[in-house]
Chains A and B, each alone.
Chain A
């Protein structure tokens, strides 16, 4: 699909808006429908869309494997870290009330970081699965497997 002009142009037009929508879903999740999981999936979908149009290797240059794998683990760590922060500040595990002097504000802060963690892990996992499947197909077709040794 790399040489399809219509797809390339439409993709270039749409992908920024998909990314923007993902951010909107992420950060507006407190007020409207949405949240970390949905935002992560939309983010991953945007990248998959990009990879489908411009090729997996180009997508790997935008989001290399090490970044995706770091995201995979970093999300869970962010989430668990919020819990630990609650512990260190004198509350229970995952207790957001202590994260700020104002308990309600502390809740908002806690929810914000938790959602960031969820989005990071989800988009990382989705992208990683996609990369693995896509590169397997390439390896079978015989044109190099783009996987970096790490």
Chain B
């Protein structure tokens, strides 16, 4: 994965960048499988590696296939990214150990979720669709809004183009 990221930074050909993004997503999906988060891994593989790769390729079709040389030296963004990363790592050191049953997140509502009063064998589905139904409704609305926004943006552009064609 680290190798993929390093190559992503170096490569200037956008087609290669998109393929590397796909590879990165697949690797991320395997990491998630290793962490026993199969549902998320599935989403990552389908969205990250599948659909978004195609969408990026579609976008690439509309623009040049080589990245422009950056106008500024990368030191300031690099410093910001590195320091943010360091702060995050420092913060992560304060988190409870991975899979510690006594950590606060497992002591609060999780026992009730795991009692599984809705009797759906896949707890992830139970939590997403039933216990956290409002959240998922919000997420669906976000997806819908994204779609509506894209329709609004790309369609209007097309209409303007058509008008221009009509005038000419």
Interface residues of A (CB under 8 A from B): 25, 29-38, 41-42, 44-45, 48, 52, 69, 72-73, 75-76, 79-80, 83, 94, 96, 104, 107-108, 110-111, 114-115, 117-118, 121-122, 124-126, 128-130, 132-137, 139-140, 145, 147
Contact = CB atoms under 8 A, between A and B. Distances in A.
B133 A29 contact: no
Interface in B132-168: 133-134, 136-137, 139-141, 143-144, 146-148, 150-151, 154-155, 157-158, 161-162
A13 B49 CA distance: 21
B61 A94 contact: no
Given A35-B39, A38-B39, A79 B140 contact: yes
Chain B interface category by residue count: 35 or more
A129 to B, nearest CB: 5
Given A107-B130, A115-B129, A125-B143, A41 B54 contact: no
Interface of A (DSSP majority class): helix
A52 B55 CA distance: 12
B31 interface: no
Interface of B: 38-39, 41-43, 46-47, 50-51, 54-55, 58-59, 61-62, 117-122, 124-126, 128-130, 133-134, 136-137, 139-141, 143-144, 146-148, 150-151, 154-155, 157-158, 161-162
A110 B122 CA distance: 15
B125 A35 contact: yes
16 contacts: A31-B120, A33-B122, A34-B42, A35-B125, A35-B129, A38-B42, A45-B46, A69-B151, A104-B119, A107-B120, A108-B118, A125-B147, A130-B58, A136-B157, A139-B161, A140-B62
